[in-house]
Amino acid sequence: MNVGHAVRWAAEHGLPRLGLMALHRKGDTFAQLLSGDEGRNDPYTLIDQLRGEGGVQTVKTGYAVFEHGLCKEILRDRRFGVRTPIDPMLPGPIRRYVESIELPPNPIEAPSMFMMDPPEHSRLRKPVASAFTPRAVARLGDRVREVTTELLDSMAATGSAELISEFAAQVPVAVIGEMLGFPDSDREMFLAWGEVVTPLLDVGISWETHQRAMAATAAMKTYLADHIEKVRRDPGDDIFSTLVTSGELNTTELMASANVLMGAGFETTMNLLGNAIPLLLAHPDQLELLRAEPQHWPNAIEEILRFEPPVQLTARRVLEPVELGGAPLQPGKSVIMSLAGANRDPAKFEDPHRFDVTRANAKEHLAFGSGVHACIGASLARLEGINALPALFERFPDLRLDGEPHRRGLSTLHGFDRMPAMLSQAAEVVPAATAASED
């Protein structure tokens, strides 16, 4: 057993896990949202209960916000930071010792830009953001369409498919592999790593889950260090080669940036595609409208993101005394923002529990956050969704689920890990609508 890892897990996950379990047994609604099956399978009923009269809610972990306006305000306010130090209630010497324990590079550890505040965040984000400029993303459009066609051809050969592992996960992992210069043969390895690393973004994970994640991040560190050295010796024409050869980031920062690219470019899209399929099948009138009027697909992607956001929760640390929504917030405490709650705020979206692909203000959702930490892969996720989903439903007009899809056992990341389906291939393959190829 790695003692340092055990101490970090106990401080960051073990103690919160025990607290949430105790609260859950007492019927605490917020604990159910964060850690119970109720929150994973139907978070919106709990969110409506917690929203109450609105404003800032005081919860056992600090504060919680469910309103669109307040969430957006916090996300854009520099008085709130992403750095979430070890629980300030721990005695100083213990807290400093825990914070000194280093873990392998992963999305929730500095120098990941996910966990850095300006100005350091700005320095790290600037070179990576070049990978997601509209022009850079548009150049990936052909690759998205090629990958989608390959996947659909493969699925058509069998007449059935597991839509997460064979489709929703494969589209983004192929595109991110292209961006980072990874060989196609390594796709399955990265999918396996991603499955065990992403729980680090959740609250109160088990020791076994944490250990699996640490093993995967250690393996990823070795892989990325070797890859970076290969790129330095023989750079390609991919986006990551440009980042490496620019010299703006050191090796540790490059590994962290690669983790960000993998996370921002993979998780959001996989959950977007996976959430969209049963949602559209459950609303056949909306799917039929999209088939008849494919120009609505770009807005449909925004409504899917609003209605079933891939990331349900995010948090900020109060950096200085703040009064928000008439409530005083104490420095050092965490504010958990329900992006799912913000996206179904009746003060912002009329009849918010109605799924409407023509909703006029659908794009005002907060599924990608807002402010300096807005999701760096948002434009890529949109591009992949706008191309892959129309192609799927055009190729298989009689697609139907083969049983209930299975939700991932996570509260922060909202998606499925299994979705068996039966397919029925169209007599003639119709290319995805031209309008759907534009970001």
- 436 pLDDT higher than 50: no
CA distance 192 to 190: 5
* Residue 371 backbone class (left: φ over 0; alpha: ψ -120 to 50; beta: rest): left
pLDDT computed for residue 430 by the predictor: 43
**More confident position, 334 or 276:** 276
- 161 pLDDT higher than 80: yes
**More confident position, 341 or 239:** 341
Locus of tokens 């306010």: 77
pLDDT computed for residue 119 by the predictor: 86
- Which DSSP string corresponds to 76-140? T-TTEES---S-TTS-HHHHHHHHH----S-TTSTTSGGG--TTHHHHHHHHHHGGGSHHHHHHT
Q: Return the SS3 of 330.
A: coil
**More confident position, 80 or 138:** 80
pLDDT computed for residue 95 by the predictor: 59
Q: How many CB atoms lie within 10 A of CB 269?
A: 27
Tell me the CATH architecture of domain 3-437. Orthogonal Bundle (1.10)
CA distance 172 to 191: 10
Pairing type for strands 416-418 and 406-407 reads antiparallel
Rounded mean pLDDT of 234-250? 89
pLDDT computed for residue 87 by the predictor: 55
- The domains of the chain are located at 3-437
Say if CB 420 and CB 160 are below 8 A apart. yes
CA distance 138 to 296: 19
pLDDT computed for residue 84 by the predictor: 58
Confidence of residue 60 (pLDDT cuts 50, 70, 90): confident
Residue 335 phi/psi, 5° resolution? Answer: -115, 115
Q: What's this model's pTM, rounded to 2 decimal places?
A: 0.91
Confidence of residue 81 (pLDDT cuts 50, 70, 90): very high
Least confident of 12-16, 211-215, 319-323: 12-16
* Torsion angle in degrees (nearest 10) through CA of 102, 103, 106, 107: -60
372's tokens: 């300096």
Out of 205-209, 241-245, 373-377, 391-395, give the one with best mean pLDDT. 391-395
CA distance 251 to 225: 7
239's tokens: 């986006």
Confidence of residue 98 (pLDDT cuts 50, 70, 90): low
> ∠ CA(285), CA(290), CA(291), 5° rounding?
95
pLDDT computed for residue 47 by the predictor: 96
Least confident of 158-162, 247-251, 421-425: 421-425
pLDDT computed for residue 281 by the predictor: 98
CA distance 137 to 383: 8
382's tokens: 């949109």
**More confident position, 132 or 236:** 236
**pLDDT tens string 397-415:** 999 999 999 999 888 999 9
Rounded mean pLDDT of 329-346? 94
Residue 398 Cα to chain centre, angstroms: 29
Least confident of 174-178, 182-186, 242-246, 431-435: 431-435
- 426 pLDDT higher than 60: no
